[in-house]
Chain A
């Protein structure tokens, strides 16, 4: 029966032309989605996920092929489809200058939710999303996670039969992510709703009933997530070795012939091999003693990487960077002492202190709005501090002369190179800004294009690059002048797992070469790459230490091997409880 299936794609092709380039966003895609389950669209950047979502909403017209949504033809009757489905676009699509309540009211009117039912439905949704205390707040002042929950609430006002969510969890902290998933599952269980969502987080794929794996516009496979991981079962191992840092261990393993993927995971390195069968220590790491190799349970991510990673050239060296840094010098390059920043009455950063040694990768972790970016901006000299002391390479960059900034490289959270300029023009500009002249300038630009594999995009406008390439370009621009200290603000936000691996391989190599790296991230598993880190919430530091120490704190009897995410959530919960206690005490007084 046709009505059984909520979404049917048949031979759908979608082509975009941009200037002279044509891009095949979807190539002969056919699939059916049955009702009452959560289906995940998984794939790296440029796989065609967003295009598919938009086709399913009737927002785009396919080049050829048919799209049926809830039995309606999305090409012939887009308005009918748009009236029937619930949709949340990738970018926050609500009005930031309206309050939570006003946004709800607007969408209730638009979706024709009867007046009588509103009070009950609002209460239900606000309770479910935990937004009840904030109904009067402007949407623009909500945290990233709360915004997404509000977006979801607006899409759910009238309980659509099919809910389409385009990367709902991008840029959302782990606590909010868990809550979002809980809401989605409640809809499926209680209302029998069908959900199609796309995501770049592979751990989320395992929470779906069914996964559609996309790559470069092609559907590679459809099925339950464990079906995918079953394919790589027996090829996954955890390796640890004494007397070698986990970063070096990972770099060495990555270059072993049989290895498809090597990922730092706590103190061990997780391997995906080409062939099944326990490898010998000698074949993997010749010349190392005390190597332990244990088989591990395959995850969806392993299957994903095994499937999509066609080449691995392991960018393991600093890529021709000429750093004149004494690797053994262990001075504290960044010192932060009781840093304070106020915006009016609001304290964004409160009493933050930490030190970073030369050659360290130091992480700042926290949810959105925890004060990471503000701290960052103060360190780069973009924002004066309201109080406390800070020094970067011995200077306060806000007060220091412009030349002092030559020591640092900076990669902003948002892609912030010039979109109208080509890749080469962008690089050339930054080379000039950092005083690289004539042949030296050409040399560095060539270096960047080669090292970061941007050759195919030399003359493309930066705006038109796929996300992963934009990130490479930003990274290259920040490295043009071979800085001693690198500031990376959420460098991997929204970037797919393959690009993230590549990014970290480069960063590791830089750290090995003696570059000091200060990085913020909300991907908890990435914290494993850091030598040390602080976890921030509401402008204060909750904990400082190595990743191992952090995880050790979260170890309980139920959970003997907690992940970084568990550790983070636990810390946040403790912080909330403390706050409540203090509030209660205040209330009693």
Chain B
């Protein structure tokens, strides 16, 4: 291996990427803008869920419970209605997500010690939002029950659940999603940088010129991989810094382990990118190829929806996805405080993916050229 060859090629690749203003912008600006927008947008936590109240009870207890609901940051009561007909139109038109309806004798039943029913009508079009809203409401009701029982000298249920969440104590979904965005953005950037690099040279005829020089395929491979990895590393550092300082995500684990993870992830994605690039003869094909990899890779990585919920066959597919491992590493280091040992099983699969894809790419340089 000849270091001068690799250095010359890597420098050339950097210059090609960075000299043109438009291509410089496309590498740097979208990831940062997207981190900000998506970091704030992508949250499962609900705030100000629009609620309508249909109170047929005249007692004080229902008013007290409703005041608690109104006081919660999760709900905002927008409508007070007084007929059944209004329920349907409010929910159908998506004006409210749920209607809360204390039964006619709510306060009276409560005073008597009989179960007082609180009816809840919820829009299930987005089942996840519905479920979360229901959970919030259940918490309010359980609290209310507990306090009611204490005030009235009654014992509560014989078994009490004392819940605690580890790692993400307040269950903020931003803590979960933002590290996922970091991984997805890195995937998109490195793939865009590498997936076009060989295809572009093929299309412009410069790849032939490269192949008649004494550069060996391994050297071309390394020279082309370096810019992707370096740009990825810098970008990762930048967006992780933003994540920690701007989104207040804790960084509890071992930073060297995180960087090892980043490096291996970059090697694996650069490998995938170069492989796509050397299969394709035109840039259009390469863009499509990158696209066809990025979309499933993001969806199947456990970024927004858990891998455990997928059918078993799809779960097997996720083992091919480098982002899957990387997300565990980012979340592990930031939230769970993991180090090398706990993350070992995330490291080696990426090494294998990287080796296979890079090997294939290098082979294709020479043998797919007409």
Contacts and interface: CB of A to CB of B under 8 A. Distances in A.
A416 B211 CA distance: 12
Contacts of A461: 19
A165 interface: no
Contact of B214 (A414, A415, A435): A435
Interface residues of B, number: 27
B212 A434 contact: no
B4 A382 contact: no
Contacts, number: 88
Interface in B268-313: none
Interface string A411-444: 0111111111110010011111111010000000
B212 A382 contact: yes
A380 B4 CA distance: 23
A381 B7 CA distance: 24
Contact of B215 (A383, A402, A431, A487): A402
B152 to A, nearest CB: 78
A406 B211 CA distance: 11
A408 interface: yes
A437 B8 CA distance: 10
A215 interface: no
A185 interface: no
Contacts of B216: 402
Contacts of B8: 428-429, 431-433
Contacts of B9: 429, 432-433
A434 B213 contact: yes
B221 to A, nearest CB: 13
B204 interface: yes
B203 to A, nearest CB: 10
6 contacts: A381-B211, A397-B212, A402-B216, A416-B208, A418-B16, A429-B12
Interface of A: 343, 377, 380-383, 397, 402-406, 408, 410, 412-422, 425, 428-435, 437, 461, 477, 487
A412 B208 contact: yes
A257 to B, nearest CB: 40
Interface in B1-58: 2, 4-5, 7-9, 11-12, 15-16, 19-20, 23
B214 A434 contact: yes
Contacts of A437: 4
A493 B370 CA distance: 23
A422 B314 CA distance: 48
Contacts of A406: 214
A430 B4 CA distance: 11
B209 interface: yes
B16 A383 contact: no
Contacts of A422: 19
B370 A418 contact: no
A380 B15 contact: no
A477 B212 CA distance: 12
Contacts of B7: 432
B205 interface: yes
A345 to B, nearest CB: 15
B206 interface: yes
Nearest to A410: B212
A133 B360 CA distance: 44
